[in-house]
Amino acid sequence: MDGRIAASYFMGGFECSTHRLRTGRRLDLAASTRHEEFASEDYARLARLGMRTARDGIRWHLIEAAPGRYDFEGARRMVRAALEEGVQVMWDILHFGWPDHVDPFSEDFPKRIGAFAHAFAEVLREEGDFAPLVAPVNEISFLAFAGGEAGFFNPFAHGKGDALKHQLVRGALAAGRAARDVNPATRLVHTDPIIHVIARPDRPEDEPAARAHEEAQYASWDAIAGRAHPELGGSPDMLDILGVNYYVHNQWAYPGGHRSMVRPSSPRYRPVHEMLRMVYARYGRPLFIAETGIEEAPRPAWLAYMAHEARAAIRRGVECFGLCLYPIVNHPGWDDDRHCRNGLWDYADDLGDRPLYVPLAEELARQRVLQERLGLPGSEARDPAPDLAGFDTIAEWVAEATERSRG
């Protein structure tokens, strides 16, 4: 790859969440989207559109159905499919879900995920992925808030956000080191949302709390790098690659809720390129937009906006090496099984064919041209910032739907 981190700038991410809902039902998006069944076809589709890098995940709850006993056959099929299609995959070890016999608060949690990661790293080596990219734990700071503080994600705890965050950091460090024990060339990817939080104009007294809430977005990365909570075992070499996740509702006024969302057209809305620059200035590590997308007709416009912001960040010196459309295929809603039309491809038929959302494909082709011209004379003039006003309504809808689902 000539020293590049990613095989392609534009990437596709397959939704692979496997956590239990409050109803007790376990999600398995790789199964419900039929990606597990048609992985070869899905990777081939990516490659045909020039996306030779993907995000994907393995399913711990299926692989280790009984403690200490691993069955990687399904994961091996996916690894082989990616290698055969020439698609580089960033593999999530833990994407929100774990086996029922694993307790994330238990003392042995880091050891358990470390052993699991070690075993998967051996699978990657055996199958011929000799330069693997591994994401030990997806969205540590978000998962700690959602599952340990606010209680709307498994394990549905309240008031234990810091405790869960520390456990997930320990687990990520154990998994990352285990993977590197097998293959020292392993690159570690750490993903979390980037957010902007402000005080309401009529409540300036909330400014310190808003700043503290925004600062919390860096907590897991600081700990992994050993900058905070050194007792967790972090070190600078473990903070390798940063994946920043950004959606249209990632900016709000403290204390939150859909009615306090900062509208994209608002002068108080922080441009994404500034948020990328802030992350890069803080850590100096290579980064990429690991998740971004939107539902329905605004999909092409949202891609245009995010790609423009990434290029604006690159022009300002940020080492941003990629943008991942997430999810790349439509999927059933987590809580209600509704048809979420947020991907480039739709549900698969029994032959593995997926209808293409042509407007998004056309915009992707246009963005690839703009990306290839980046740095050439006049490229910035041909890359104007999109109008954000068109995102206001859908941003409010997404924020309201998100809050309603958290119930």
- The half-sphere exposure of 37 on its side-chain side, counting CA atoms within 13 A, is 14
Stretch 77-84: mean pLDDT:
98
Q: What pLDDT, on a 0 to 100 scale, did the predictor assign at position 2?
A: 52
Q: What is the pLDDT of residue 13?
A: 98
pLDDT tens, 277-313? Answer: 999 999 999 999 999 999 999 999 999 999 999 999 9
Residues 258, 325, 360, CA angle at the centre, nearest 5°?
Answer: 95
Give the pLDDT score at 407: 60
Tell me the whole-structure pTM to 2 decimals.
0.96
Q: Is residue 170's pLDDT more than 60?
A: yes
CA distance 178 to 117: 6
Q: Identify the burial level of 373 via C-beta atoms within 10 angstroms of its C-beta, where 0-12 means exposed, 13-18 middle and 19 or more buried.
A: middle
| Alpha-carbon gap, residue 129 to 67, rounded angstroms | 26
Confidence of residue 1 (pLDDT cuts 50, 70, 90): very low
Q: Is the pLDDT of residue 240 over 90?
A: yes
pLDDT category of residue 404 using cuts at 50, 70 and 90: confident
Say if residues 224 and 169 touch (Cβ distance below 8 Å).
Answer: yes
**What was the pLDDT predicted at 176?**
98
- Domains of the chain, first to last: 10-406 (3.20.20.80)
State the average pLDDT over residues 139-166: 97
* Average confidence (pLDDT) over 82-94: 98
